[in-house]
Amino acid sequence: MLYPLKFEPLYKDYVWGGRNLSLLGKTLPDEGIVAESWEVSCHKNGSSIVANGEFQGIPLPDLIQRFGRKIIGDSLPQKDVEKFPLLVKLIDAQNNLSVQVHPDDAFANKNENGEYGKNEMWYIISAKQGARLVYDVVPGTTRETLAAAIAENRVEACLKTVDVFAGDVINIPAGLVHAIGRGIVLAEVQQNSDTTYRVYDYGRTGRALHIEKALNVIDFNSAGRPNKYTGLEIILGQNCSRRIVIANNYFCTEVYHISGKINENADGSKFYIYTFTAGSGSISWKDGKMDVSAGLSLLIPASMGEYSFSGDFTALKSYIPDLESDIIKPLLNAGKSLQEIKSEIGGLADALKL
């Protein structure tokens, strides 16, 4: 009964957005700014509505309430059935976002009415020449020196910036100061949370800053950490591969490069989300076939069974991993060393305390 689910995009018109998601294949409103498209969401600030098939028009939370683990999977904890664990977005930064930080689960649960914390990752879909983002504070920055810089309006002197290019993968753990710079379109995979503490907003007025909370959650001890991760590749077949790029206690994201056909399986253990960032193709399953192309996201229910992709495309595959069986063992079997696994996959070393 269950099939690949696509959704109506949920557009957000934040001040820094533009119209560039149309270049990714999104059909935008006739007028106005579109900063984000929430592609797969079960959050109180916006829930996805099914856009295809028998369940068209049904909100995703209602569908999960109806089918439970047939969508979520038997291997995931009950909390993931009660509250969907991921939120996937496409983001158009026509202008600089605010400099911000996200809390971890413990702080958010205590201070944000039981909200999740927010660990996330970015996949750069396109970047104009010279595009940069804020990643962390400069080494040596302390709570006291950053607080003084905020009070004296010289925050930018405390921020580390990084040049970015299409295809870059950025890991954003809770506690990391960050901001997307102008001229960047990216996909974001994150915990199901909408909690952001703004530190600095480039002189824009009308939006609140959250200085005290931000200072309480910033991790000042990890300045200088790696910002980009190349990941590790596993060959799926001729001209087809997957590259595991981010893996932590909250999600795993892989980059699929497909030029041909691959077979996949939703064996009942977990759901998968595919976000297509370039190219086109099709997905086939027992009861049907559907075209896929850049700008589309699909939720594969855990109990759907075997399916296959054909075409020439790039996509992100995101899911809740068992780090040992889903990440470590396949990479070791593919001939990767433990040192490569620790250094090339964002978030994994911290998650496993390697």
Residues forming the active site: 198
Residue 308 and residue 265: Cα distance in Å, rounded?
8
Residue 172 and residue 174: Cα distance in Å, rounded?
7
Residue 262 and residue 85: Cα distance in Å, rounded?
27
Closest to 321 in 3D by CA, of 310, 313, 329, 332: 329
How far from 240 is each of 234, 258, 260, CA to CA, in Å? 9, 4, 7
Q: How many other CB atoms are found less than 10 A from the CB of residue 324?
A: 9
Q: Are 107 and 117 in contact (CB under 8 A)?
A: yes
Residue 244 and residue 255: Cα distance in Å, rounded?
7
Closest to 162 in 3D by CA, of 187, 194, 184: 184
Is residue 22 helix, strand or coil? helix
| DSSP string of 50-75, one letter each residue | E-SSTTTT-BHHHHHHHHTHHHH-TT
Order of strands, sheet of 159-163, starting from the edge strand that comes earlier in the sequence: 159-163, 132-137, 178-179, 99-101, 197-200
Is residue 248 helix, strand or coil? coil
